């Protein structure tokens, strides 16, 4: 008996699979674009609702803003080049002296703020900070909150890597 060699051509099947894959990717791209557009619309609506509309709301908003002190702790991307510093509400920057410990430096700077509520923002790059430095700063802020007559509210802000690379 003679056997004939059987050849299976898979080219049409691969063409169909590639066409289906292209259609899925195109649909996904379109849905992503629609999602981004919807999110941008929501952000613009939220921004409009956040602005004070009436005169009394604007007065209340200004009074509220004046009763809160703000300070921003900035952890540099490289401690070799730049020391840690604070940005006060008026925009002045105060660098941390190398000889002073973190708690005493922060507490002396925050004590100068007269408001009863102080928002302390901590800005850092998640890729550049060590866990011990992060914990030291959180511990110092917690101690300041416990030892201070003011109420200290803490928030974090991450520095985006894409902004630094551009």
One pLDDT digit (tens) per residue for the chain, 166 residues: 677 777 778 888 888 999 999 888 888 887 788 888 888 888 888 777 776 667 777 777 777 777 788 888 888 776 566 778 888 888 888 888 888 888 888 888 888 888 888 888 888 888 888 888 889 889 999 998 888 888 888 888 887 654 444 4
Is the domain of 62 the same as that of 126? yes
Q: Does residue 96 sit in the same domain as residue 138?
A: yes
Let me know whether 10 and 83 are in one domain. no
* Global pTM value: 0.56
Residues 106 and 124 in one domain: yes
Range of the domain at 157: 57-165
Do 151 and 83 belong together in one domain? yes
What pLDDT score does 80 carry?
62
Nearest 5°: the CA angle 110, 78, 91 is 35
Looking at the 3D structure of the chain, how many domains does it have?
A: 2
Q: Are residues 64 and 128 in the same domain?
A: yes
Same domain, residue pair 27 and 75:
no
145 and 85, same structural domain? yes
């Amino acid at each position: 008996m003679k056997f004939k060699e059987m050849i299976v051509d898979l080219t049409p099947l691969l063409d169909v699979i590639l066409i289906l894959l292209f259609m899925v990717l195109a649909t996904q791209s379109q849905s992503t674009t629609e999602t981004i557009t919807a999110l941008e619309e929501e952000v613009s609506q939220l921004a409009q609702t956040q602005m004070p509309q009436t005169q009394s709301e604007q007065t209340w908003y200004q009074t509220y803003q004046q009763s809160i002190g703000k300070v921003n702790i900035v952890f540099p991307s490289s401690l070799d080049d730049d020391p840690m510093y604070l940005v006060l509400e008026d925009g002045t920057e105060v660098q941390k002296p190398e000889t002073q410990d973190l708690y005493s430096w922060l507490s002396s700077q925050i004590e100068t703020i007269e408001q009863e509520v102080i928002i302390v923002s901590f800005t850092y790059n998640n890729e550049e900070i060590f866990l011990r430095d992060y914990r030291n700063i959180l511990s110092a802020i917690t101690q300041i909150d416990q030892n201070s007559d003011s109420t200290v509210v803490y928030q974090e802000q991450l520095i985006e890597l894409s902004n630094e690379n551009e």
